[in-house]
Amino acid sequence: MNAFRAFILKEFRHILRDKRTLLVLFGMPIAQIILFGYAITTEIQNANIAVLDRSRDVRSLELTRTILASGYFTLNADVRSYDQIEEAFRKGRIKMALVIPPDFAAKLQRGEADLQVLTDATDPNMASTLVSYVNAIAARSGAQGKPPGIRIEPQMHYNHNQASVNMFVPGVITIVMLLVSAMLTSIAITREKELGNMEILLVSPLKPLVIILGKVIPYLLLSMVNVSTVITVGHLLFGVPMEGSWLVLAVACLLFVVCALSLGVVISTIARTQQVALMLSLMALMMPTILLSNFIFPISSMPFPLQLISNIIPAKYFIVIIKGVMLKGVGFEVLWKEAAVLAGMTLLFIGISVRKFRIRL
Amino acid sequence: MIRFDQVVKRYGNTTAVDRATFTVERGELFGLIGPDGAGKSSMMRMLVTLLLPDDGTITLDGHDVVADYRFVRRNVGYMPGTFSLYTDLTVEENLQFFANVFGTTIQENYHLIAEIYEQLAPFKDRRAGALSGGMKQKLALCCALIHRPLALILDEPTTGVDAVSRAEFWSMLRRLTTTGITIVVSTPYLEEAALCDRVGLINDGRLMQIDTIGGIVASYDHALWRIDADNTRTALQVLREHPAARAAYLYRSSVMMSTDQELDPEHLTHELLRSGVTGARVSRAQPDIEDRFMDLMLEHA
């Protein structure tokens, strides 16, 4: 058996004998996807609202009924003035109030009808979602003058029922891959330094590249197993669509895993202890990735400096790719730019880690 | 085989190794002896290419350890000061791994480690982390030997190991030198100097003397006195102030005093009694390595 194979075998033994690593490796991805899939959701159903109808004509009643019939809203307060709306907001009885001004029907005839939507913006995400629901409903019934009782169907492309799981599964896959690949490899390499094993590995004919690859390849394989699990769970349990090619998805995942692994190696060349490696992975990778990758918070609504910073987050590009493949069914003919950026970053990280790998203490 | 020439290692403003110069012959068992922080580990780490000397040169079998570090890494067996094998791998898996890393097999060089490994064989499926201190050191020695190195570099292999295992370990090293392997071993225990062919006594980064234990003890050229008294502590205080004393120190519950000229023991007993030290017995003592070490520290202070 040659040195390289012996190294990989040894690495697998480390991983398989460490219960905590195993738990992080295989338990966390499943836990995360189930948590994100079930518990954290941006869909809104039966939001409590109030309607202050100051017009009380055919058109205003029609609009009210249309909105309430959408299923997104429940009328929860009988209000007759702005003061009562204010009170309902304070008591937390409603999340949104709709104010229909006087002479609604007449104004609608002239094409200048307006509608006031008040929301409780202490929960901004929910507020903006509610506003967009009302907008969609009002736009249809107002512009086209449809009779009351019509079914409202806001058309959301690619994520027809706006299932948040379709947004989160790609995000979770990204986070999990980054976590497993970058964090666990950086910790695994720094563990050798911290426990003094690196001291004897350095005083041996092993080349730096062999040490790095020997550390990385087991995690590469395990990460790919992980990705398959998460995608399968997302696909079967939550019905995340798979519109594109599995092969394209696999190649994209492989590319991102290699990118994350090389980031992990870069971290391990900086960190001297496992603690530092862990903190660096969490602070320097996890936080920016969650915040700046379009996973939870839309980049387009961020201040310009943050938008600039988001360009150096590898996960941002991977999320574009994975959503493109899974939800839109496109391939590299569309996504080549993102793939090229990821490949470029990977080469950069590998370059840095080979240069920075210390052949002495 | 191994040659240090005016080797200097600094960490910031402190000089860890100060112009160390010595040679170790092929098949020799060479000891580096000195207290913690004396510079032993720094010397060994420079020798095994882990640290770069700030000045001077080190060669192993004629190869410069800086320029030709690959040769050194292929041809030394190194045991660091802390246990550095994989605690979650079994005894056999550790040995197998290091054999493979050096491109060899356990079978190929088994004769080198046979004697040591036979003691470990009953535990070959036990994880290295679960071994006793002595067993861990034996395993580490096997792993350092498995590729048939030209030289073994052992950093404090007997520190923290029980007395029986220490004695065993030294006799293993002794037998290994008969196969032509050169061994450099560091230890904080002065009494282990007797087990080496030659030793270098180090303190504060400086090699104070390099010789056989006999040569080192013989180079002690002062009169040495052992003083036992009812109260050793007061006796020590009084003797430190004595005009004839070069040095006075405690050694195994006696006070040792070195002087440059001969003393009349009875006269000294009287002097002590006058200073309030009762029951004093003064006798001439044979210096050993500890006394020489104290002496050297005094000279280099």
CA R_g for chain A: 27
Residue with more model confidence, B76 or A102? B76
Query: Does residue A50 register a pLDDT over 60?
Result: yes
Kindly state the percentage of chain A with pLDDT values over 70. 90
Question: What is the rounded distance in angstroms from the CA atom of residue A170 to the CA atom of residue A296?
Answer: 11
Residue A150 per-residue DSSP state: P
CB A50 within 8 A of CB A94: yes
Q: In this structure, are B228 and B210 located in the same domain?
A: no
Q: Residue A222's pLDDT is what?
A: 87
Query: Looking at residue A70, what is its pLDDT?
Result: 81
| Closest of B77, B48, B42 to residue B60, by C-alpha | B48
Residues B223-239, mean pLDDT to the nearest whole number? 90
The structure tokens listed for A191 are: 């563990």
pLDDT band, residue A40 (cuts 50/70/90): low
Domain count, chain B: 2
Alpha carbons B21 and B5: distance in angstroms, whole number:
5
Q: Are B256 and B195 in the same domain?
A: no
Shared domain check, B173 and B30: yes
A195 → chain B, closest CA residue: B84
Contact A50, B122 (CB under 8 A): no
Contact B102 A204 (CB under 8 A): yes
What is the reported pLDDT for B25? Answer: 95
Q: Looking at CA atoms only, how far is residue A272 from chain B in angstroms?
A: 16
**Which two tokens mark A124?**
């901004």
Range of the domain at B111: 2-217
B110 in the same domain as B251 = no
Q: Final residue of a domain: which of B150, B184, B217?
A: B217
Alpha-carbon distance values, A312 to A56, A295, A323, B50, B265 (Å): 54, 15, 19, 36, 84
- Residue B200 to residue A87: CA distance in whole angstroms: 89
pLDDT for position A146: 40
* The pLDDT value given to residue A196: 87
User: Above 50 in pLDDT, residue A31?
Assistant: yes
CB of B6 within 8 A of CB of B19?
yes
Does pTM surpass 0.80? no
Long-range contacts of A148-151 (CB under 8 A, 24+ apart): A148/A61, A148/A62, A148/A65, A148/A66, A149/A65, A149/A66, A149/A69, A150/A66, A151/A69
Contact B277, B235 (CB under 8 A): yes
Q: What is the mean pLDDT of residues A48-77?
A: 85
**A199 and chain B: CB distance < 8 Å anywhere?**
yes
CATH of the domain at B259: 3.30.70.100
> Are residues B257 and B204 part of one domain?
no
Residue A153 is predicted with a pLDDT of: 37
- Among residues B189, B217, B245, the one where a domain terminates is B217
Q: What is the mean pLDDT of chain B?
A: 92
pLDDT of residue A147: 39
Tokens 């040792």 identify what position? B256
Angle at B264 between CA B261 and CA B269, to 5 degrees: 125
Whether residue B9 is found in the same domain as residue B70? yes
Q: What is the ipTM of this complex?
A: 0.85
pLDDT at position B189 is 92
Give me the residue label for tokens 């492989």. A254
Helix (H) or strand (E) holding B39: none
Q: Are residues B56 and B73 in the same domain?
A: yes
Query: Shortest Cα distance from A354 to chain B (angstroms)?
Result: 18
User: If you write DSSP's letter for every residue of A228-294 in order, what string do you get?
Assistant: HHHHHHHHHHS-----S-HHHHHHHHHHHHHHHHHHHHHHHHH-SSHHHHHHHIIIIIIHHHHHHSS
Place of tokens 């009380």: A56
**Is the CB of A10 less than 8 angstroms away from the CB of B51?**
no
Test B88 with A2 for CB contact under 8 angstroms.
Answer: no
What's the CATH code, domain A47-144?
Answer: 3.40.1710.10
What pLDDT does residue B21 have? Answer: 95
Please, which pLDDT band fits residue A142 given cuts at 50, 70 and 90?
A: low
User: Given this model, what pLDDT does residue B206 score?
Assistant: 93
pLDDT for A207 beyond 90:
no
- On whether both B152 and B185 belong to a single domain, the answer is yes
Average pLDDT value for chain A: 82
**Contact pairs from chain A to chain B, CB under 8 Å:** 76
Do residues B233 and B196 share a domain?
A: no
Final residue belonging to a domain, choices B188, B217, B246? B217
- Predicted confidence (pLDDT) at residue A154 exceeds the cutoff of 60: no
Query: Strands A73-77, B63-64: parallel, antiparallel or unpaired by DSSP?
Result: unpaired
* Of A339, A283, A280, A345, the residue nearest A313 (C-alpha): A345
Contacts of B76 in chain A (CB under 8 A): 203
Q: B49, A360: Cβ pair inside 8 Å?
A: yes
Q: Are residues B213 and B250 in the same domain?
A: no
DSSP SS3 for B106 = coil
pLDDT in the model for residue A223: 86
Q: Distance between CA A327 and CA A323 in Å, rounded?
A: 5
pLDDT band at A292 (very low <50, low <70, confident <90, very high): confident
Of residues A210 and A139, the one with the higher pLDDT is A210
Task: Please tell me the predicted confidence (pLDDT) of residue A85.
Answer: 86
The H-assigned helical ranges of chain A are 3-17, 19-22, 28-34, 58-69, 82-90, 104-110, 124-144, 164-178, 185-194, 197-202, 208-237, 246-270, 274-280, 287-292, 304-310, 314-323, 332-356
Least confident segment among A176-185, B171-180, B220-229, B263-272: A176-185
| Average pLDDT of span B20-28 | 95
Contact (CB, 8 A) for B200 and B169: no
Mean pLDDT across A98-117: 80
Please tell me the distance in Å from A361's CA to the nearest CA on chain B.
Answer: 5
Give the nearest partner residue to B101 out of A199, A204, A360, using CB atoms.
A204
**Is residue A351 pLDDT above 70, yes or no?**
yes
pLDDT at A82: 85
Residues B176 and B263 both lie in one domain: no
Q: Are strands B281-284 and B223-228 parallel, antiparallel or unpaired?
A: antiparallel
Q: From chain B, pick out residues whose CB is under 8 angstroms from the CB of A1.
A: 100
How far the first Cα of chain A sits from its last, in Å, is 28
- Whole-number Å distance between alpha carbons of B194 and B31: 9
- Within 8 A of A195 by CB-CB distance, chain B residues are 84, 87
Q: A92-109 burial, b if ≥16 CB within 10 A, otherwise e?
A: eebbbbbbbeebbbeebe
| Residue B11's CATH number | 3.40.50.300
pLDDT attached to residue A149: 34
Of B52, B69, B86, the CB nearest to A197: B86
What does the domain layout of chain A look like in residue ranges? Answer: 3-40+163-356, 47-144
pLDDT of residue B31: 96
* Mutate which: B41, B50, B51, B102, vs A, most A CBs within 10 A: B50
Contacts of residue B103 in chain A, CB cutoff 8 Å?
2-3, 205
User: What is the C-alpha to C-alpha distance for residues B114 and B102, in angstroms, rounded to an integer?
Assistant: 18
Asked if A10 and B97 come within 8 Å (Cβ–Cβ), the reply is: yes
Q: Are residues B198 and B87 in the same domain?
A: yes
Q: Give yes or no for residue A230 having a pLDDT over 50.
A: yes
Q: Does A39 touch chain B (CB under 8 A)?
A: no
Which residue would you say has higher pLDDT here, A61 or B31?
B31
Neighbour-count burial for B79-88, b at 16+ CB within 10 Å, e otherwise: bbbebbbbeb
At residue A158, the pLDDT reads 47
Mean pLDDT of B273-286: 89
